[in-house]
Amino acid sequence: MINSVMNKLFTKKLTIYQLGNPQLREKAEPITNVQDPKIQKLIDEMLFTLRESRGVGLAAPQIGRSLQLIIIASHPNNRYPHAPLMEPTAMINPRIVSHTEETEKGWEGCLSVPMIRGLVPRYRQITVEYCDRQGNQQVKELDGFVARIFQHEYDHLEGKVFLDRVESNLDLVSESEYYRNNQTNPKDI
C-alpha cells in the first residue's frame, strides 16, 4: 500500500508523442544494461503512463526514447472490452523468432494516433524472445490479441505505426464510428 502510494507520488505520467513527431519514425537502439537504474525507472514510468492512459501496450519511442523496450498489458477496458487479462510485462530487446503463416485482421488503435481505429492484418501466433526487467532471457508463444499487441508495439521499434499496415483506406474508421459499430459486432477487439 505504502509502496503504491509512494509510486504514485514519485512516478510521473510521461507525454505520449503523437503522429507526425519524427521520433515515432526512428529505429530504436538495443538496451545494453537492463539493470541500469535509469532503465528501471523508465520501465516504472512507462507502466504508470500506460495504466493512466488505459492502453494495452506502449513502446519507448512513443514517449520519445529511442530504445528497444515495450510494455504489453492486455486487460479488458473501455478501449478494448474483450482483451484477455495479463500481468503488465516489460520486454527489452524483443524480437519475433517465428510465426505462423496465417494472419487475421483485427481492430487496432494507438495512443500516438488518437481518434482513429484501423483493421490491421497480423500473424495469429508468434514465438518471441526478449529480456525481462530482471535481465533474464525469455522465450514465449503468443497468440490472438496478445500476439497482436506485441506486433503493434514491435512495429514502433522499427519506426512503423499501424496505419502503415492497413490494406486499404476503407479499413480506417473514426473512433466514434468504431464504438457505434462495435455494439452490434461484439467479436471486434
CB of 14 to Zn ion, least distance (A): 14
* Contact (Cβ atoms closer than 8 angstroms) between residue 159 and residue 24: yes
Name which position in 110, 131, 146, 149 contacts Zn ion (CB under 5 A). 110
**Does residue 90 touch Zn ion according to CB under 5 A?**
no
Query: Which residue, 24, 129, 146, 25, is CA-closest to 80?
Result: 146
Decide whether 28 or 32 has the Cβ nearer to Zn ion. 28
Q: Could you give the CA distance from residue 133 to residue 61 in angstroms, rounded to a whole number? A: 18
**Does residue 147 touch Zn ion according to CB under 5 A?**
no
Residue range at the interface with Zn ion (CB under 5 A); choices 87-95, 106-114, 119-127, 163-171: 106-114
**Does residue 69 touch Zn ion according to CB under 5 A?**
no
Residue range at the interface with Zn ion (CB under 5 A); choices 17-25, 47-55, 70-78, 103-111: 103-111
CB of 156 to Zn ion, least distance (A): 6
CB of 71 to Zn ion, least distance (A): 11
> Which cell goes with 134?
530482471
Alpha-carbon distance values, 75 to 12, 62, 127, 172 (Å): 22, 20, 21, 24
Pairing of strands 137-143, 89-99: unpaired
User: Applying CB under 5 A, what is the total number of residues that bind Zn ion?
Assistant: 1
> Which cell goes with 105?
485482421
